[in-house]
Amino acid sequence: MRFVDEVTVTVAGGRGGDGILSFRRGPILPKGGPDGGNGGRGGSIVLRGSNNLNTLVDFTGRKHLTAESGRRGGSNEKRGAAGEDLIVVVPCGTTVIDDESLLTLGDVCNHGEDLCVAHGGAPGRGNASFRSSTNRAPRQVTPGRDGEARRLRLQLRVLADVGLLGLPNAGKSTLISRVSASRPKIADYPFTTLRPNLGVVRIGTDDGFVVADVPGLIPGASAGAGLGTRFLRHLSRTRILLHLVDCVPPDGSNPIENVGLVENELFRFSEAFRERPIRVVLNKIDATTSEDVTQLVSHFRQAMPEREVWCISGIAGTGVAALMNELSSEVVRIRSVSREDPDALSADEDVRERLSEDVLRNELQARRRKEMDSWAQQPKQPSSNIDPVS
Ligand SMILES: Nc1nc2c(ncn2[C@@H]2O[C@H](COP(=O)(O)OP(=O)(O)OP(=O)(O)O)[C@@H](O)[C@H]2O)c(=O)[nH]1
Ligand SMILES: [Mg+2]
C-alpha cells in the first residue's frame, strides 16, 4: 500500500433545508393558519480515528467531501429531515490543519475519536414559525444556510516501534529492505527517500515490530531545511530511535560530529526526544578495515560513554541479525511499560504543539511575505481621480 503522509482536501457541510410557505386549507378550514414547516439541518463532516489504517492514500482520489443537505420543510408544520453526517475514517495520528489560516483544528489520536471539521448549515424557518399575536398569517420564510466549507491539510505521523534516523545516504532504506518486506528505492544520492517507508520485522513466530525508514535529515532540518520538519514529525511516534551513521562518509566528515549535527536538529525540534532511547549504529563497516572500525568505536565510547554503539553492514548483513534480536526484546519491554504508562510517547504531544505553533506560523509568515512581494511587484495603475500633470 502506498504511504501518503500529507494531503489537502476540501470539505463542505450540507446545506440546511429551506423553510416553506404554506397555509392550512380544507373544506371546513378555507382560511386556516400558517403551517409551513422548518427545514432540516445540513449534515456535518466528521473525521473518525482508526487503528486499521496507516496511510492517507484514500484521499488522493477523494479531493472534495460534501455532506448531505437537509430536506425542505413540509406543510402541517412538518420539519424537513436532517442531512446525514458524513463520517470519514482517518488513521490515528492525523493532524487537521485549516489550509487558509494554517491553524490546527485538532488531532485525531485515538481509535473511534471524532473531530467535526465542517458543520452542516442551519435550517431555514417555515412561515408557521413567524406566527405571532400581531401577525396571524405571516408569508415570511427563510432559506437554509450553506454548510461550513474549508480546505483542510491532513498530516499523518507514522506509528512505529523503531524509527531510523540519520543523514541522507546513511543506508536507512538499505537496512529496512534487508530486514523486512519493504522495498524502498536505494541510491547513492541524498534524499532518495522522500516519504517514510514502513516495514514489519518478524523474528521467529512473534508478531514482529514495525520499523519506519524516515527521509534523511540535514543541518537546519528543525527550521524546515530539506523538508526537515515534515520528516522529523514522523519520529515523534516511534518508541526507539536507531541513528544510522556512515562510518566512512564520502565527504570525509567526522562520523562523531555527524551524530551531533543530526541529534541537535532532533532536540531543537523537540526537547522531548532527549528522553527517547537512541542507539548509534555504525553502518557500512564492509567499506573499511576492522582496525578502523574498532578505533572508531572506541572514539565513540569516549565521546559518548552512555550510548550503545552497534556496528553493521546493511549490504552484507553483518551484525544485522544481532541488532534486530536486541531490538525485538527491547520493543517487547517498552510495549509493556507504555501499556502501564500511557504518557511514554511524550514527544508526540510536544511535536504536535511545535508543529501547530512554530512551523505553521513560519509558513504563514512566508506566505504573507510572498503575497506582499507579488503585490509590490504589480505595475501600479495611476489613480483616476488625480489629474495628469499637463
Ligand atoms: N558499502 C556499503 N554501502 C551501503 C551500505 N548500506 C547502504 N549503502 C549504500 O549507500 C547508499 C545510500 O543508501 P540508502 O539506503 O539509499 O541510504 P538512505 O539513508 O536511505 O538515504 P536517503 O533516502 O537519501 O536518506 C547506496 O548507494 C547504498 O548502496 C553498506 O552497508 N555498505
Ligand atoms: Mg532512503
Atom of ligand 1 lying closest to residue 314 CA: 31
| Among 54, 275, 306, 283, CA closest to 164 | 283
Which three cell numbers mark 364?
504563514
φ/ψ (deg, to 5) at 204: 65, -135
Q: Which ligand is nearest to the CA of 320?
A: 1
One-letter identity of residue 49: G
What residues contact 244, with CB distance under 8 A and at least 6 apart?
A: 164, 165, 166, 170, 171, 172, 175, 281, 283
Q: Which residues contact 149 (CB under 8 A, 6 or more apart)?
A: 10, 11, 12, 13, 118
Distances in Å between the alpha carbon of 374 and those of 281, 362, 383? Answer: 48, 18, 20
- pLDDT score for 28: 78
**pLDDT score, position 174:** 94
- Distance between Cα 255 and ligand 2 center (Å): 18
- Residue where the block lists cell 565513540: 300
Indicate which atom in ligand 1 lies nearest the CA of residue 193. Answer: 23
Computed over every residue of the chain, the mean pLDDT equals 85
Its sign, for the CA torsion 347, 352, 355, 357, is negative
390 falls in which pLDDT band (50, 70, 90)? Answer: very low
Ligand 1 pocket: which of 3, 164, 182, 186 to mutate (most atoms <8 Å of CB)?
Answer: 186
CA of 230 to the centre of ligand 2 (A): 15
What would the grid cell of residue 127 be? 412561515
Q: Could you report the per-residue pLDDT of 37-90, keeping only the tens digit for each?
A: 999 999 999 999 998 888 888 888 888 999 999 999 999 999 999 999 999 999
Give the pLDDT band (50/70/90) at residue 277. Answer: confident
Which residue has its alpha carbon closest to ligand 1 atom 32? Answer: 284
Q: What is the 3-state secondary structure (H, E, C) of the chain?
A: CCCCCEEEEEEECCCCCCCCCCECCECCECCCCECCCCCCCCCCEEEEEECCCCCCHHHHHCCEEECCCCCCCECCCECCCCCCCEEEEEECCEEEEECCCCCEEEEECCCCCEEEEECCCCCCCCHHHHCCCCCCCCCCCCCCCCCCEEEEEEEECCCEEEEEEECCCCCHHHHHHHHCCCCCCCCCCCCCCCCCEEEEECCCCCCCEEEEECCCCCCCHHHCHHHHHHHHHHHHHEEEEEEEEECCCCCCCCHHHHHHHHHHHHHHHCHHHHHCCEEEEEECHHHCCHHHHHHHHHHHHHHCCCCCEEECCCCCCCCHHHHHHHHHHHHHHHHHHHHHCHHHHHHHHHHHHHHHHHHHHHHHHHHHHHHHHHHHHCCCCCCCCCCCCC
Q: Identify the nearest ligand to the CA of 172 by its number.
A: 1
**Ligand 1 atom nearest 174 alpha carbon:** 15
Query: In which residue are the cell numbers 562510518 written?
Result: 247
- Residue whose entry in the numeric block shows the C-alpha cell 551513521: 245
Q: What is the pLDDT of residue 5?
A: 81
Identify the bridge partners of residue 104 per DSSP, sorted by sequence position: 97
* Ligand 1 pocket, mutate which of 169, 194, 227, 285 (most atoms under 8 A from CB): 169
* Closest atom, ligand 1, to C-alpha of 244: 19
- Kindly give the distance from the C-alpha atom of residue 171 to the centroid of ligand 1, in angstroms, as a whole number: 3
Q: Report the alpha-carbon distance of residue 179 to residue 200 in Å, rounded.
A: 8
CA of 97 to the centre of ligand 1 (A): 35
d(CA 44, CA 118): 6
- pLDDT of residue 355 exceeding 60, the answer is no
Termini Cα distance of the chain? 71
pLDDT at 159: 76
Atom of ligand 1 nearest to the CA of 216: 25
Instruction: Report the alpha-carbon distance of residue 90 to residue 97 in Å, rounded.
Output: 14
CA 295-301-302 angle, to 5 degrees, is 90
**Per-residue pLDDT band at 389 (split at 50, 70, 90):** very low
The residue whose CB lies within 8 Å of the most ligand 1 atoms, and thus the one to mutate among 175, 192, 265, 289, is 192
Candidates 1.10.274.30, 3.40.50.2020, 2.120.10.30, 2.70.210.12; correct CATH number of 6-156? 2.70.210.12
Residues spanned by CATH 3.40.50.300 within the chain? 160-348
Q: Where along the chain do the CATH 2.70.210.12 domains lie?
A: 6-156
The least confident of 10-14, 132-136, 157-161, 276-280 is 157-161
Q: The domain 160-348 is classified under which CATH number: 3.40.720.10, 2.60.40.10, 3.40.630.10, 3.40.50.300? A: 3.40.50.300
pLDDT of residue 4: 79
As for ligand 1, residues whose beta carbon falls within 6 Å of it are 166, 168-174, 186-188, 190-193, 215-216, 283-284, 286-287, 313-315
Question: pLDDT band at 172, cuts 50/70/90?
Answer: very high
Query: In this structure, is the dihedral angle defined by the CA atoms of residues 184, 188, 193 and 197, taken in order, positive or negative?
Result: positive
What pLDDT sits at residue 86? 97
Instruction: Name the phi and psi angles at 59, rounded to 5.
Output: -85, -10
Residue 214 has pLDDT above 70, yes or no: yes
Question: Are the C-beta atoms of 43 and 9 separated by less than 8 Å?
Answer: no
Q: HSE on the CB side for 30, CA within 13 Å?
A: 0
Which protein residue's CA is at the shortest distance from atom 3 of ligand 1? 284
Residue 269, pLDDT score: 83
Asked which of 9-13, 40-44, 334-338, 341-345 is least confident by mean pLDDT, the reply is 341-345
Per-residue pLDDT reduced to its tens digit, 192-212? 888 788 888 988 756 788 898
Residue 171's pLDDT band, with cuts at 50, 70 and 90, is very high
Residue 221 contacts residue 273 (beta carbons within 8 Å) = no
